[in-house]
Structures are given as structure tokens and as C-alpha cells.
Chain A
């Protein structure tokens, strides 16, 4: 028993980092099952269809990536917005503005994708770099206002979200960069289509899976390396853990925060660019797929670590692509929305579970003063 206690004390944080997301996701599935049951359907059938829809019925189908490719595609985009929120968390900031940075990146990609005519190997990198710059700066703006003017980043990023939505959707897309300006006979709303040279084409026949997943994997590696192996990353994490101590030890916390917000914005923008260059091919009249907000859930469930966020994102990518097939037994595709709703419970229960464990420990050993801190900044 004593060994067990010792082990627990040493490994508590590691165990919790794994256990909390898994318990949270299970809670989510449980709640969703109750909702399915409430509509008079069988949750077991529903989940069987969900898995078949996500991966395929046979091993060959799985390998063909016909269905699994869709999950990887969605997972890649979720991973990018999730990483975006996670990086901001590491510096102690809550980036609710991933949605705004996402659409800023989208419109940048739509514009340059239409205007540039270089060969793909020049075109696409230029577009992605431009997206990193514009979305990054849009994110850094919130960081700047936080550092220099003391404005809470949650408020600014919410305001910047809606500023971006209105300026892009009620001005740029309907005005100066409308498809009708270039093709007067067009019947679709939105902006002109991007050039073939700018497209991220499907990698395999019969799938929509494109380079998005590789961009996401590269992003995970870069973010992991940056945060854990570089001085800059160390400074960002130190700023997030204890800004006073970091400042006292000579770290420019303001710079770290602004940089983290730049990276955060850039990642969210890349997600938007991947959607525009990959599947959308234009900026549609209204484009709010909600991936920016989903990123918050991904980062929280993934305990704000790059790899945890990536794993969570892939999981939810498959969950979403599989959810459509549950329509076969009459569970409407809005179940994807319910998954969003249950994602909430994951987040809420993560806090509750940690709190419960903390309470239990306190009761057992009153002398333990240490409080388990979740990675979420105050």
C-alpha cells in the first residue's frame, strides 16, 4: 500500500495527464449514448456505425483510406487550431480568437491562391508564408494589447473575431474581392476560385485527404521542438507557469507572450489556408466552420501538450467523419453538433475530475498543501 502511495505521489501528474482526457472522453460518449437512447435508437448500433463510418468495414477499406482519409483530413485541421490554442496556453494566454485568425488566414490564402501564377512548389510555400504572417500578426495584436495596454486577451480576441468576420464577409468577400468582379456570370457566392497551381490536391484516388495532415504533423513537430528544446520555448513556458518569477530571472515575458500569440495566430491561419487550398477552393460567402472554437476543446482535452492535442484532434477527426454514417439508422448528422456539445463536458469534467482527486488527497493527508494545478492559466 505504501509503495502504491509513493508511486502515486511521484507519478501523479503523469497519470492524471493521461487519465483525465480518457475519462473525459468516456464521459462524453456516455452522455451521447444517453441522448441517442432518448431518441429511441440503440447506442451500440450507432457507435458500431460510427466506427465503420470512420474507418471502413474491412481491412482493405481501411487501407484504401476512402473513409479514414476524411478523418485524417478533419483531424489535421483540428490539430492546427488545437495547437494554436495550446501554444497560447503555454504562455499563459487564452486565445479565443483562433476562429478570427482562421478566417484571416483563409481570406489571405483565397486571395493569393487566385492572384499568384507560379509553379506549385513556389506558389504554395509563398501562400503559406503569407498566411503565417497575416494571421500571426492578427494574433500578435491581441498579445501586444495585453502586454502594452493590459487588455485581457479573452476580450480582445472575441472582439477581433467579430471584426474579422464583418470586415471579411460583409466587405472584402461581397465587395472588392467578389467573384462577380472577375467572372460576371458566376452563380456562386464568395471569392474567385484559387488557381490549380495553388491547390492542395487529394493524395489518393477517391479520397479528399490532402497535404493538410502533413502540414499538421510538421506543425506538431515544430511546436514540440520549439517549446521543449529551444530557449525561446523555455521562456514561453516559464512565462506561462509563473510570469513574476520569469520576469525576475530576466526573461522578457512581454516578448514571450506576443511571440506565442504570433505562433498561435499563424497556426490557426494555416488551418484556414489548408481548408481553402484543399477542399473549399474559394472563400465562400459565409465561412465559419467553427474549427477555431473546436481548437479550444482540442487543446484542453489534450492537456495543452502538442502531442496530446494532436492525438485528441485525430480522435475527433475520425469521430466527426464517422458521425455522418449514423444517419443510416436515423440519427441525423447533427450528431456532429452533439459531439461538440459533449466536447464541452470533457472540458468541464476535466476540471471536476482534477478537483475531486485534489479533494480526496486533501482528505487523506491533511498536511499536503500542494494543489494540483491544471495547465489552464488563471
Chain B
């Protein structure tokens, strides 16, 4: 392989494997900027991933799968919103609860509808369905477009759209004010509960989409191990990206780089893995996130009211 081919192939892998991280990470950005912590991204990805396969299995059309996965994630988001906004429950407990529930519940569905606890049968998916088939024919860089299905396209465009929304529109300003100072936002006539509900539901939908991007975007089945901790890496990417959409995009690529590098090194230069074991590549993103949070490598500051339930009319 020539060096250019390797670069193109690395970029394609980054796009492909980074997509779920970006989508779920954006889910985190949306909800945490409205002041609700969502550590249930993992569970919502699992739910979305399963129902995407289920939808495609029932209808034979992966688009319906995508929509079902998105809706399933949104419903999980609604549950999280109800507990953390309306009931003012502990947002982390609620998140842990949804994660555990997704673990058991989806295994139940897998057993119920596919008679297995391993993986579902193959369904129609978005594999080899590039969004721009014409561009695939371009020599050299065509490979990049061959992996660009609907999920990858959304993953590289949504960060900019969300950035525009959050920082360039008045709606975005309201959204952020709810996360920074809900009391002030309330005084200005913003419906804090409504904004938080919408944010958490959208976050669930994005996490569901992210799960779908694995099950019907990268593969064409649902495996019971999914998403194997990707939701937590997405959370790390969001923090690494300082709770900002474009930052999250870059962080997600950076984290994916550790995994992709490990795969390429294994095939191209296996002797490096003898010096630096695989485990170090895989643990690297997590260690780096801790170092960043501890302020050894730059500082990351969460929205001020992140994780704090808002009680209307409560005295300060």
C-alpha cells in the first residue's frame, strides 16, 4: 500500500468507527447544555441499536429501522426526562437505572423475538449503501465516499448544525441559559422544564441513532454485547470536547484514532505492539480524559447548572 492509500483508508476507518461516538456525544452535548446529565447514553444506544435491527427485520427496509431506533432512543430519553426533570430524581441514579434496564430488557427482547441471546439474524442495512454513489467512482478519494452512508453523513454535518443552533440562534441561547442558570432563564420567561424535556428527548434520539449506526450502519445485526462501552467513551469525548459540538466531533475522532491506530499497527507493524501492548492504546482515551479533567492538560468546565434539578419557585 502506498502512503496515500493508507491515509485514505485511515480516514475512511475514522469516519466509519467515529460515527457512533460523534452521534452519542452530540446527544450528551445537547442534554448537558440544558443542565441534565445523561450517563444513560450507553443504554439508549443499546435500545436504539436493537430497535433499528428490529424495524429493519419487520419491514425489510433499513430506513424504517433507523426511524424505529431513533424513536426508541427518544422514548428512553423521555423516561430519563420524566425522572430527572419532573420527579427531580437524581439524574445519575436515573441514568444508571436506564443502563441496567437496557441491559436486561434488550436481552429479553432478543430472546423473545429472535430466540437467541447471542446476535440477531442479518437484516437489510446501510452497508454498501453510500449516500453519494457517484462520488465513490472518483479515483483515490472514492473510498472515503464508499463508507459515507446516512449515519456518517449526519455525524459530520450535525456538529456544525448544532453549533450554529447553540451559539448563533436565540433558541440556542435560551437552551444554554437553562443549563447555566435556570433561575435567571425562568425569570426571563423561558420554560425551563420544557427546554430540558426537549433536550433530553433529542439526546435520547441521537443516542438511539448512534446505536442504529452500529447495528445497521456498520453491521447488519444486533449483537448482545452492543454497544460495549461506546456510550461511555462518547461521554468522555463530550467532556474532552468541553461540552461543545465541534469539540466533541474532534474528540471523537481523536478517541477513534487510538482504536484505529491499534488495528492498523496490528496489521502493518505488529512488532510495535510488542513494545506498547494493545491495552495501552485502548486505555489511552480514558487516561487522557482523567488527566484533562484533573487540569493536567487544559481545563474542562461543565455548564454551571449541569446535573442540578430545577425546582420552580424555590428560594436560593
**Interface positions of A (Cβ within 8 A of B):** 35, 38-39, 94, 96, 145, 149, 151-152, 154-156, 158-163, 165-172, 174-175, 293, 296-297, 300, 332, 334, 337-345, 347-348, 351-352, 355, 374, 376-378
Distance in Å from the Cβ of B50 to the closest Cβ of chain A? 13
The answer to whether B39 has its CB under 8 Å from any CB of chain A is yes
- Does A162 contact B112, Cβ atoms closer than 8 Å? no
Instruction: Tell me which residues across on chain B come within 8 A of A160, comparing CB atoms.
Output: 286, 290
**Chain A binding surface, main DSSP class:** helix
Chain A residue nearest to B296 in the complex (CB): A149
* B residues contacting the other copy or chain, number (CB 8 A): 46
| Contact A378/B308 with A159-B236, A171-B279, A352-B89 known, Cβ cut-off 8 Å | yes
Distance in Å from the Cβ of B102 to the closest Cβ of chain A? 8
| Contact A158/B235 with A35-B108, A344-B101 known, Cβ cut-off 8 Å | yes
Instruction: Tell me which residues across on chain A come within 8 A of B89, comparing CB atoms.
Output: 348, 351-352, 355
Distance in Å from the Cβ of A313 to the closest Cβ of chain B? 16
- Does A296 contact B96, Cβ atoms closer than 8 Å? yes
Distance in Å from the Cβ of A358 to the closest Cβ of chain B? 10
The answer to whether B282 has its CB under 8 Å from any CB of chain A is yes
Chain B residue nearest to A341 in the complex (CB): B104
- Does B283 contact A166, Cβ atoms closer than 8 Å? yes
- B244-285 interface bits toward A, Cβ cutoff 8 Å, 1 = contact, 0 = none: 000000000000000000000000000000000111101100
Instruction: Tell me which residues across on chain A come within 8 A of B97, comparing CB atoms.
Output: 344-345, 347-348
Distance in Å from the Cβ of A90 to the closest Cβ of chain B? 15
Find B279's partner among A170, A297, A377, A378 (CB 8 Å cutoff): A170
Distance in Å from the Cβ of B179 to the closest Cβ of chain A? 15
> Which residues B88-107 have CB closer than 8 A to chain A?
88-90, 92-94, 96-105, 107
Instruction: Tell me which residues across on chain B come within 8 A of A296, comparing CB atoms.
Output: 96
Instruction: Tell me which residues across on chain A come within 8 A of B133, comparing CB atoms.
Output: none
- Does A156 contact B111, Cβ atoms closer than 8 Å? no
| Contact A175/B277 with A338-B105, A351-B83, A351-B93 known, Cβ cut-off 8 Å | yes
Instruction: Tell me which residues across on chain A come within 8 A of B289, comparing CB atoms.
Output: 155, 159
Instruction: Tell me which residues across on chain B come within 8 A of A352, comparing CB atoms.
Output: 83, 87, 89
Instruction: For the complex, give the distance between the alpha carbons of A343 and B93 in Å.
Output: 12
Find A341's partner among B83, B101, B279, B286 (CB 8 Å cutoff): B101
- Does B100 contact A378, Cβ atoms closer than 8 Å? no
- Does B87 contact A355, Cβ atoms closer than 8 Å? yes
> Which residues B227-249 have CB closer than 8 A to chain A?
229, 232-233, 235-236, 239
